[in-house]
Amino acid sequence: MRTGLSFEKKQGKVLPFIQDGEHFFKKGIKAYRQGDLKKAEHHLTRAVRMDKEEPIFLCQLAVVVSELGNYQESNEMLEKVLYELEPEMVDCYYFLANNYAYLGLFHEAKVKTEKYLSEAPEGEYVEDANELLKLLKFEDSLDGETDESLRAEESLIIRHDQAKKLIAEGKLSQAEQVLKQLTVDYPEFWSAYNNLAITYFQQGLTSEAIQITEEVLERSTGNLHALCNLAVFFHYLGDKTKTSHLQSQLESVYPIEMECRSKLGTTLVLLGSYSQGYKWLRSIYKRGFVGEASFYYWLSVGAYQLGDEKFAEQAWLEFIKKNPEKANEKPWKDTKQQSNGIEAHEYDDFYQVLYGTDSYGERFFALYALYQNADKVAITMVEEFVKSHDVDEQLKSFAITLLKQKGFNKQMMSTSESMEIGFETAQQLIKLINDEMHTDEIKRLYMLWFTAFANMIKENKTMMRNSKAWAAAVEYIWCGTTNDPKTQKVLAKQYDLSVSTISKYVKIVKNLID
């Protein structure tokens, strides 16, 4: 969709919305200072994507991610800064120390704190680091555990997390080596065996995967993760008898811990036991469980298969927030037809535009495009946008205007006259669309209007009421970019307006888009 969200002037010059990493970094810092961590994370993530080699961007994102409670993810970013981008950014050692302390890895926290103090004896965080060191030593005295036992326990956690990260990144042979060593060092750490089985299976070593999983079940009877893995293995191998037997066992399990419910729920949904699996996933979702991306993926599948399409879309949006690159890989097919140039498969692209760009014009257009489809999915997306706390009030007002036009939420807050003019003008432009027009042409037409409209709103200019005159001006400029230009005289007759009125509005629109 992005390629369609720009338009060409008569000279053929493309007018893109150009924003660099520095732009989003500044917006992220502003949001961080205002205490809006989610918005800060959003902007800083975009800054990092635009300039992957800038250590300051990644370090600041790590700080925000830590404050959101994602300490392990923050540590991965900080280590990348220190060991790949800029070893001189020694403040990262202090940030690492804090994260390890929150994770309960006190020995690692102590090591990193001491490293910071040795590298930056007069650094900005020396006082805080000394206080942290005192707390860590006090914690050690209360615990009574030796440094050696603490190191061993923390090493286990860190190495296992490293292995899971390698699996997620597709680095299976590296993960295999880490997990093999863990099974040697910790012979009864069953999670290492279960994840080792997964690496085998994903590498095509199916016999080895099944063998090690069955060994876990012999030594740790009823191990839920092993049972789930084995069922999935047989499912993908096409062994219906063994899959069915294991599925029946899993359907009778009643897990207490939320992590176990997540594992069981995702497995059952994958196996096609939608009602049972969805029950567990939805139960922990209601209790505030925050899972990995796969949790929301299977939650959306379960909801969709049970007919709750609205919640399925909501869960899917959560999934693509974590994996925006998979926005077009929805696990079910949409059957909607094209409507006024807007394709159903573009819904996920619209989501990315609504929440992933700062371009006013693109976001107004995305809302209007969803309005034009007016199916359950589109309306749900617009309603969710209205409910969001961190979206622009003008955009929210426009979304409410659209919902009211469709008869939804009549009791919503009132909207401004400007929003109604924006909508009415877009409706006037629909009359220009015919079956021979390409989707990109339609988008160029709409984007010309919504760019002008957005700039008018942004600059707080008085919106003149004549929607027909706005539409005529937009058509005049748009036709000038095609092989079929129109004169203002022809348009005056077509819209029942005077030539002077059209000329006046054309000048305004040109000033707004230039």
Domain boundaries, the chain: 254-326, 344-513
- Count CB neighbours of 127 within 10 A: 9
Structure tokens at 89: 């950014």
Query: Which CATH fold topology does 254-326 show?
Result: 1.25.40
Asked whether the beta carbons of 227 and 250 are under 8 A apart, the reply is yes
Burial 443-471 (b: 16+ CB within 10 A, else e): bbbbbbbbbbbbbbbeeeeebeebbbbbb
- Count CB neighbours of 503 within 10 A: 13
pLDDT tens over the chain, length 514 residues: 333 333 333 333 333 333 567 878 888 898 888 888 888 888 898 888 888 889 999 999 999 988 888 888 898 899 899 988 898 999 999 999 988 888 877 778 888 899 999 998 888 888 888 888 887 776 555 454 545 555 566 667 778 788 888 887 788 889 899 899 888 888 888 888 999 999 998 888 889 999 999 999 999 888 999 999 999 999 888 888 999 999 999 998 888 888 889 999 999 999 989 999 999 999 888 877 777 888 999 999 999 888 888 888 888 888 877 777 676 678 876 544 334 444 444 555 666 677 666 677 888 888 888 887 656 667 777 777 777 666 778 888 888 888 887 776 555 555 678 888 888 888 888 877 766 666 677 778 888 888 889 888 887 777 788 889 999 999 998 888 877 788 999 999 999 999 999 999 999 999 888 7
Asked whether the beta carbons of 247 and 271 are under 8 A apart, the reply is yes
The model's pTM is 0.48
Asked whether the beta carbons of 479 and 485 are under 8 A apart, the reply is yes
Asked whether the beta carbons of 347 and 381 are under 8 A apart, the reply is yes
Angle at Cα 448 formed by Cα 497 and Cα 481, nearest 5°?
85
Q: Could you give the CA distance from residue 24 to residue 48 in angstroms, rounded to a whole number?
A: 9
Which DSSP symbol is given to 221? T
Q: Could you give the CA distance from residue 272 to residue 429 in angstroms, rounded to a whole number?
A: 46
Which DSSP symbol is given to 414? P
